[in-house]
Amino acid sequence: MGVTLREIQEADLENIMRWRMDPDITRYMNTDPKLTLEGQRKWLAALRANEDVRYWLISVDGEPAGVINLTGLTKPSGELGWAYYVGEKRLRSMRTALSLEMSLYDYVFDGLKKQAVYGDVFTLNQGVIALHRLCGCEIVEEKKNHVCKGGVYYDVTYMRMTAERWREVRGTKKYDRIAFA
């Protein structure tokens, strides 16, 4: 498995748009967007101008696979938000997921010297919650009926990894390190 990350380019926007509108992806996200290529171009321009966020294209064995991001880079508190998805179903694997998540922690805590990373997951997405817990994340809070999408209310589980906790558990984890640049 060769997983690499790079800056998102305009040539990636059609794939990202397709992934982001895929019901298999959006069923676990806060929105079901109807995207256009022109809207994606504006989104990319806004990303490039925003120092508070960073997005990468995930490639698996040289093939575009998904997106991973950080938010809150300019917050003085040292706390970030993060999210990712692998949109290409055939490129999904537990090994890729574990390596992405734990390499992100290395980057955030060792490279950026931040204090905590938070993520939110629809509570019904128990597989991802279990994955985050396997990586060492802790559940911080569960909010009932927190997101309304299509007239349906969803519970949301908030999870956190701190720099201190990552130092405690990192040595017990095996993963392929992925470079964030």
Q: How many H-runs (helices) and E-runs (strands) does the chain carry?
A: 6, 7
DSSP 8-state symbol, 108: I
Please, is 137 exposed, middle or buried when counting C-beta atoms within 10 Å of its C-beta (0-12, 13-18, 19+)? buried
Q: Report the DSSP beta bridge partners of residue 141.
A: 158
For 53-101, what is each residue's pLDDT tens digit? 999 999 999 999 999 999 999 999 999 999 999 999 999 999 999 999 9
3-state SS of 57-77 is EEEECCEEEEEEEEECCCCCC
**pTM metric for this prediction:** 0.94
Residue with token string 């990468």: 56
pLDDT of residue 1: 63
4, 61 contact by CB (below 8 A): no
List the end-to-end C-alpha distance of the chain, in Å, as a whole number: 19
Question: What pLDDT is attached to residue 69?
Answer: 98
- Going along the chain from its start, the domains and CATH numbers come out as 3-172 (3.40.630.30)
* Spatial distance between the Cα atoms of 130 and 24, rounded to a whole number of angstroms: 18
Mean pLDDT per 10-residue section of the chain, whose length is 181 residues: 93 97 92 94 97 98 98 94 96 96 97 96 96 97 96 97 97 95 77
